[in-house]
Amino acid sequence: MVNLALETRNNKEKIPLIWLETCGCSGNIISLMDADDPDIVYFLREMVDLTYNNSLMAAEGEAAYEKFLNTLDKEFILVIEGAISIKDEGLYNVIARYKDRLITGMEAALKAGEKAKYVISMGTCASYGGISAAAPNPSQCISVNEHLNKKTILLPGCPGHPDWVIGTIGHLIAFGIPELDEEGRPIIFYGITIHDNCTRRSYFDERVFASKLGEKECMFRLGCRGPITKADCPIIRWNDTDNWPIGVNTPCIGCTQRGFPDGMEPFVRY
């Protein structure tokens, strides 16, 4: 998919990318750095021009925010990770001080979202509010879609897999918006449930269930949310290994679904 995107671009200038970290843990940008095929070096050298990111850019202070502002006059892709804190006009999430004025994530997301060619909500906090909006939600966090008056592509996950965002951006470059489900998630990544491809599915079909963590059988009766959670985790795995929650004897906790985490607790049920 990525190579196709590059061929389609025919050596044109790389599209600018703003990756804005708002009210969250920065887990998605860390996950991106663990990308393997393609890796982050290929992603940055060949696919996009990362003009702004709170964590990775070399520029600091006002010089960093000026790069953000300069990108707004171009055709660019906006990735937002983290929910949008709106309490007290967003002052619980400040991303910059510019000309003696505090710049909130709430303001920056709106400013960039209005002008971006495409907007991607990366991770569950951006997509649905996630952990940042969990009860009692003292900073009044909301999802990116609730904040912007614009359709966004949702890539939920806590954190999201690097393949999801690199693959989506590759599709945007080559073909435009991929086919989305009713939630706004790319079907190629969120079209089936964890349960459909779970390595323990045969145990479920035979009604053989684990009674405690660490046993090899199906963990449905321990509270696994695989049957209702849509993502391709059993196929793509994590960190370029066999690593994924059920592979390390942990039930799926439904982190890609609307309502996580409040609606999925307790994560283990006996």
Does 81 lie in the same domain as 125? yes
Does 72 lie in the same domain as 147? yes
CATH for 185: 3.40.50.700
Does 196 lie in the same domain as 184? no
Does 216 lie in the same domain as 204? yes
Does 151 lie in the same domain as 137? yes
Of the three residues 138, 161, 189, the one that is the final residue of a domain is 189
How many domains does one find in the chain? 2
For the chain, the first-to-last Cα distance in angstroms comes to 42
Using an 8 Å Cβ cutoff, are 141 and 100 in contact?
A: no
Using an 8 Å Cβ cutoff, are 52 and 71 in contact?
A: yes
Residues 155-195: tens digit of each pLDDT: 999 999 999 999 999 999 999 999 999 999 999 999 999 99
Within a domain: 31? yes
Q: Which domain holds residue 259?
A: 192-264
Within a domain: 65? yes
Residue 136 has pLDDT above 70, yes or no: yes
Of the three residues 145, 169, 189, the one that is the final residue of a domain is 189
Does 119 lie in the same domain as 227? no
Distance (Å, whole) CA 226 – CA 196: 8
- Backbone φ and ψ for 50, nearest 5 degrees, come out as -75, 100
Within a domain: 77? yes
Residues 210-228: tens digit of each pLDDT: 999 999 999 999 999 999 9
State the residue for tokens 């400013």: 111
Does 200 lie in the same domain as 145? no
Does 229 lie in the same domain as 200? yes
Span of 42-46, 85-89, 241-245 with lowest mean pLDDT: 241-245
| Amino acid code (one letter) for 39 | D
Within a domain: 270? no
Does 167 lie in the same domain as 137? yes
Within a domain: 269? no
Residues 83-122: tens digit of each pLDDT: 999 999 999 999 999 999 999 999 999 999 999 999 999 9
Within a domain: 232? yes
**CA distances from residue 203 to 18, 156, 199, 209 in whole angstroms, order as listed:** 45, 28, 9, 7
* pTM metric for this prediction: 0.93
CATH for 211: 4.10.480.10
Residue 232 has pLDDT above 80, yes or no: yes
State the residue for tokens 């999802």: 143
Using an 8 Å Cβ cutoff, are 55 and 33 in contact?
A: no
Does 107 lie in the same domain as 92? yes
Of the three residues 162, 189, 216, the one that is the final residue of a domain is 189
Does 182 lie in the same domain as 76? yes
Fill in the DSSP letter of residue 228: G
Within a domain: 86? yes
Residue 15 tokens, joined:
């599209």
- Backbone φ and ψ for 162, nearest 5 degrees, come out as -60, -30
Does 102 lie in the same domain as 236? no
